[in-house]
Amino acid sequence: MDTLQFTFFAIIACGAAALVYILIAKPTIGNPALAAVLSGGFFAYTAVQIWHEGIIMFWSNHSANLTGIQVWWDLVMCVMIALFFIAPRARKVGMNVPLWALFVGCTASIGLLAMCARLFWLEKAAYSAAQPAAA
């Protein structure tokens, strides 16, 4: 098994573990640390990819054939759906949604995960502040 195949299967395993956590844990508030770690990890992987293959590979990958274009549209739609669902929550806790949307538009999942981490952190802080102090 070469490095790319190993990376592919490692990502599938991590995704499966995250899915199991989401389905089993049922938290009432998102996990800001998990979202931040995922954002940082994907940023690091992307930085290695850009260092190794160059920024032009994003263009080559998504414009070479109909499958590449379909994957691009799928990514764009997934990010838009996620923003559609989290923007009202982000506004409710006082986040600057247009600025975050610009960041997400420029970085896709990296920015979206960072936005979720910030949102979850603010929601957790608001939830903790609303709880009565223990006597």
For 19-58, what is each residue's pLDDT tens digit? Answer: 888 788 777 778 888 889 889 988 998 898 889 888 888 8
Give the separation between CA 16 and CA 64, rounded to whole angstroms. Answer: 29
Residues 25 and 40 in one domain: no
pLDDT of residue 135: 52
Termini Cα distance of the chain: 59
Angle at CA of residue 54, ends 40 and 47, nearest 5°: 10
Name the percent of the chain lying above pLDDT 90: 44
Task: Tell me whether residue 135 is in a domain.
Answer: no
Residues 18 and 41 in one domain: no
Give the separation between CA 121 and CA 124, rounded to whole angstroms. Answer: 5
pLDDT of residue 68: 87
The pTM of this model reads 0.80
pLDDT of residue 133: 66
Domain that holds residue 57: 32-130
Q: Closest Cα to residue 120, out of 38, 54, 32, 34?
A: 32
Task: Tell me whether residue 111 is in a domain.
Answer: yes
